[in-house]
């Protein structure tokens, strides 16, 4: 299947690890040119190890920094045609109930997961509108659809992502720009492991579980297909949604979750 991504410039925000890094490699395999934005300096090494890959170390919570980086990419490399936003943080604390957290625990999550998305969207959209083309895919979470109490700030931020994507899709459709959300389920990423750690820290010594034990129990309980989703599974959907094969898909929330939300 020809996805028609050859020579396209793809911006992957949060491309230094997890789902973002899987997206980097999947787009490169489709002969695209990839630009990584990430707060981790590791993104620079990742770029040097791959052909047609570039990297910028930036903090997406800084609006001016994001705008300047996008301008630099478009001037030095070319027009950004596709955007993948996979950068996110959790609170690092366990909810259930939400009063286990303090309002101050929400601030960083909202700054990165909500305002970071807004900053990127505002930076890339004007040039896409001028060219009347482009796609954006934002990685949210099934937690944003079911009110997951595990990490309330994270769940709420992902619900905000889903809603904002619908707003953008409606606003930008007349300019030929498609915007969608992909929601992973249970994926082995550094963020997922922090969720386990925050839960495990609250358990008695007798009730503590290894990460693998905890995840296996959750999968058995919640995922009909009974297995982990891999970062590459999520990346495959994102690449498809960015491609010409998904030309009539916009404003959608696509779950890659092994049936998690259906089961819930």
Is 87 within 8 Å of 17 (Cβ atoms)? no
Name the CA radius of gyration of the chain, rounded. 18
Active site residue 260: no
Q: Which entry of 93, 154, 218, 260 is annotated as an active-site residue?
A: 154
Q: What sign results for the dihedral spanned by CA atoms 50, 56, 59, 64?
A: negative
Find the helix packing angle between 211-222 and 190-200, rounded to 10°. Answer: 100
Q: Which entry of 51, 93, 158, 188 is annotated as an active-site residue?
A: 158
d(CA 16, CA 21): 5
Closest CA to 251 of 171, 160, 151: 171
Active site residue 218: no
Closest CA to 182 of 110, 255, 118, 97: 255
Find the helix packing angle between 63-76 and 116-131, rounded to 10°. Answer: 30
Q: How far is CA 53 from CA 10, 56, 80, in A?
A: 10, 11, 13
> Three-state SS for 100?
helix
What is the helix, strand, coil percentage profile of the chain, to 5?
Answer: 50, 15, 35
DSSP-derived secondary structure for 68-89: HHHHHHHHHT----EEEE----
Is 138 within 8 Å of 85 (Cβ atoms)? yes
Task: Report, as residue numbers or ranges, the catalytic residues.
Answer: 154, 158
């Amino acid at each position: 299947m020809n996805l028609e991504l050859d020579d396209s410039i793809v911006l992957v925000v949060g491309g230094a690890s997890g789902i973002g890094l899987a997206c980097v490699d999947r787009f490169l395999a489709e002969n695209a040119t990839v630009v990584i934005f990430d707060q981790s300096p590791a993104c620079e090494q990742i770029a040097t190890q791959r052909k047609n890959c570039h990297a910028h170390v930036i903090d997406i919570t800084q609006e001016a920094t994001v705008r300047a980086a996008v301008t630099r990419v478009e001037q030095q490399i070319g027009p950004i045609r596709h955007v993948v936003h996979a950068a996110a943080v959790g609170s690092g604390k366990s909810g259930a109930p939400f009063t286990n957290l303090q309002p101050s625990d929400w601030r960083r999550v909202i700054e990165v997961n909500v305002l970071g998305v807004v900053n990127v969207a505002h930076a890339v959209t004007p040039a896409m509108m001028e060219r009347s083309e482009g796609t954006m895919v934002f990685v949210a979470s099934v937690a944003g659809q079911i009110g997951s109490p595990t990490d309330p700030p994270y769940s709420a931020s992902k619900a905000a992502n889903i809603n904002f994507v619908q707003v953008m899709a409606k606003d930008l459709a007349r300019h030929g720009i498609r915007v969608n959300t992909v929601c992973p389920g249970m994926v082995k990423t550094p963020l997922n492991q922090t969720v386990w750690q925050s839960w495990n820290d609250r358990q008695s010594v007798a009730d503590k579980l290894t990460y693998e034990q905890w995840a296996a129990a959750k999968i058995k309980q919640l995922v009909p297909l009974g297995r982990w989703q891999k970062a590459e599974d999520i990346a495959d959907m994102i690449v498809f949604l960015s491609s010409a094969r998904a030309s009539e898909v916009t404003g959608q929330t696509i779950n890659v979750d092994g049936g998690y939300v259906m089961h819930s």
